[in-house]
Amino acid sequence: MPNMSLKKNPMPAQEPDVRNKNFYEVTFGYTAETAIDEAKRCLNCKNKPCMGGCPVRIHIPEFIQKVAEGEFEEAYHIIQQTSSLPAVCGRVCPQETQCEQKCVRGIKGEPVAIGRLERFVADWHNANSCDLPVKAEPNGHKAAVIGSGPAGLTCAGDLAKRGYDVTVFEALHLAGGVLVYGIPEFRLPKAIVQKEIDNLKALGVKIETNMVIGRVLSIDELMDEYGFETVFIGSGAGLPRFMNIPGENLKSVYSANEFLTRVNLMKAYKEDSRTPVLHAKKVCVVGGGNVAMDAARSAKRLGAEEVTIVYRRSRAELPARAEEVEHAEEEGIVFKFLTNPTAIVEGENGMVAGMTCVEMELGEPDASGRRRPVVKEGSEFNIECDAVIMALGTSPNPLIKNTTKGLETQKWGGIIADEHGQTSREGVFAGGDAVTGAATVILAMGAGKAAAEAMDEYVKNKAAR
């Protein structure tokens, strides 16, 4: 009997006023009982519209049926056929605009909680199964992947499943890209990321850390000297933007990337961390994306009494996930909409004393279709704060572009690639934020997946010639 409840089973979570003081995961996940119960809400539609909303096309109704039957390990194997990082995606995907948006149950009532079920299955597998993934039969071909973020890891996993000898080159000392340095522990525990990476290693994927491609080795060297027949560039968009306003280089002004890297990758939130981070009392975060939410919520957890998100458009235009905005509000983050900083005020000893802002109003739509914010005359005011975090977005790092002959890029630095990831260089593919500019984890994974398929085809065609 299907469960005809109009609502999703709720997700148990830490109380807002408790969780805003620790870095433990906010939500606890479903139990076996609530997962089975939720799975029974799925109608197992014939045309499976949910799958069309998933960038890696997980066989959603199939795995959910297995959950309903209590066959969790089988459910995992179904997900694993198409997704390499289910424990991550179940947590950080914006399901409301992807799989769940297409769910038939969502027409009247709430859609099936596909993301929560995916997360449950992956966590169950990681906690209960000792099965090592079966390594594919080697096909004798070598592939290199640059960057170990979601795009690179997915591409590497898919290539390994096809029998490739895959090496991932990572610039930092830990693999995971934005999953380890960007998304905080309280949204995505690092032990879970590590477990997913271990699963990939068990598939035969080699990961070389401390390798900055473009400095240590070039793409040409990888192909000509080291015998990699095809290369995937998944180096992301890690270059932070600043506003170029006065006072931006004061001591307690951070880019969100710096702040989050200190807190997440270097674990500066821990008492005994050897990497320092300033514990400010009144923090302003400039921007409205997920990164701004992560930075604000992290600052609060480091002990800030007041954290304000300053955004130049209105609530309706916030690019962050609805759930993250709600979580932030519950945790006491203050939002100041239609507000734009014009200067950061210097206090004692080179620290921040406040931020000068102007009020905005929404004018005509701009090229992106969003109404352009314009300054209200004479609306200048000051917000008192002792630290500012700039979360204005990022663009691709120019290092690979500058060191790879014949690799065409957009004016803003994004690598030009078709929908299969093919770049202007033969055998070189690219995907994720390196191509699109800052986007989502799952889009990067979809791009990694598409590229793996195209790379496989390329290598096979070349071998056949």
Partner 1 sequence: MYKIVKKRELNPTVTLMEVDAPFVARKAEPGQFIILRVDEEGERIPLTVADFDRKKGTVTIIFQIVGGTTERLNHLNEGDFIQDFVGPLGEPSHTEGLKKVAVVGGGVGCAIAYPVAKKLHEQGAQVHSVVGFRNKDLVILEEEFSAVSDVFKMMTDDGSYGEKGLVTDALKALIEAGNEYDEVIAIGPVVMMKFVSLLTKQYGIKTVVSMNPIMIDGTGMCGCCRLTVAGKTRFACVDGPDFDGHEVDYDEILKRASTYKEFEAKEREKACNLFKKEVR
What residue ranges bind partner 1 (CB under 8 A)? 171-173, 209-212, 215-217, 238-240, 242, 244, 248-252, 254-255, 257-258, 261-262, 266, 272-276, 278, 349-350, 394, 397, 399
Q: What is the DSSP string of 209-269?
A: -S--BTTTB-HHHHHHTS--SEEEE-----EE-----TTTTSTTEEEHHHHHIIIIIS-TT
**Smallest distance, Å, CB 331 to partner 1?**
25
C-beta of residue 154 within 8 angstroms of C-beta of residue 452: yes
Name 357's Cβ contacts closer than 8 Å, sequence gap at least 6.
Answer: 310, 336, 339, 340, 341, 342, 380, 381, 382, 383
User: How far, in Å, CA of 81 to CA of 140, rounded?
Assistant: 22
**Smallest distance, Å, CB 226 to partner 1?**
11
**Smallest distance, Å, CB 262 to partner 1?**
7
Our CB check for partner 1 shows the closer of 67 and 284 to be 284
- Write out the two tokens for 224: 């000509």
C-beta of residue 14 within 8 angstroms of C-beta of residue 24: yes
Q: What is the Cα Rg of the chain in Å? A: 23
**Smallest distance, Å, CB 449 to partner 1?**
25
Cα torsion through 164, 436, 409, 205, rounded to 10 = -20
Our CB check for partner 1 shows the closer of 235 and 422 to be 235
Using DSSP, state whether 351 is helix, strand or coil. coil
User: How many CB atoms lie under 10 A from the CB of residue 193?
Assistant: 23
Q: How far is CA 221 from CA 208, 213, 228, 268, 400, in A?
A: 16, 10, 9, 37, 13
Name 271's Cβ contacts closer than 8 Å, sequence gap at least 6.
Answer: none
C-beta of residue 324 within 8 angstroms of C-beta of residue 94: no
Our CB check for partner 1 shows the closer of 181 and 311 to be 181
Our CB check for partner 1 shows the closer of 27 and 257 to be 257
**Smallest distance, Å, CB 261 to partner 1?**
6
- Dihedral of CA 151/155/158/161: which sign? negative
Our CB check for partner 1 shows the closer of 267 and 372 to be 267
- What letter does residue 405 receive in the DSSP assignment? T
**Smallest distance, Å, CB 275 to partner 1?**
4
**Smallest distance, Å, CB 168 to partner 1?**
15
**Smallest distance, Å, CB 400 to partner 1?**
11
Our CB check for partner 1 shows the closer of 263 and 333 to be 263
Bridge-partner residues for 310, per DSSP? 286, 336
Our CB check for partner 1 shows the closer of 201 and 336 to be 201
Q: What is the DSSP string of 85-136?
A: -HHHHHHHS-GGGTGGGG-GGGTSSPPP-HHHHHHHHHHHHHHH--PPPPPP
Our CB check for partner 1 shows the closer of 238 and 414 to be 238
User: How far, in Å, CA of 388 to CA of 449, rounded?
Assistant: 37
C-beta of residue 236 within 8 angstroms of C-beta of residue 153: no
Residue 50, H or E segment: helix 49-52
**Smallest distance, Å, CB 185 to partner 1?**
16
Our CB check for partner 1 shows the closer of 173 and 370 to be 173
Our CB check for partner 1 shows the closer of 114 and 280 to be 280
**Smallest distance, Å, CB 110 to partner 1?**
38
Residue type, 195: K
Our CB check for partner 1 shows the closer of 82 and 264 to be 264
**Smallest distance, Å, CB 251 to partner 1?**
5
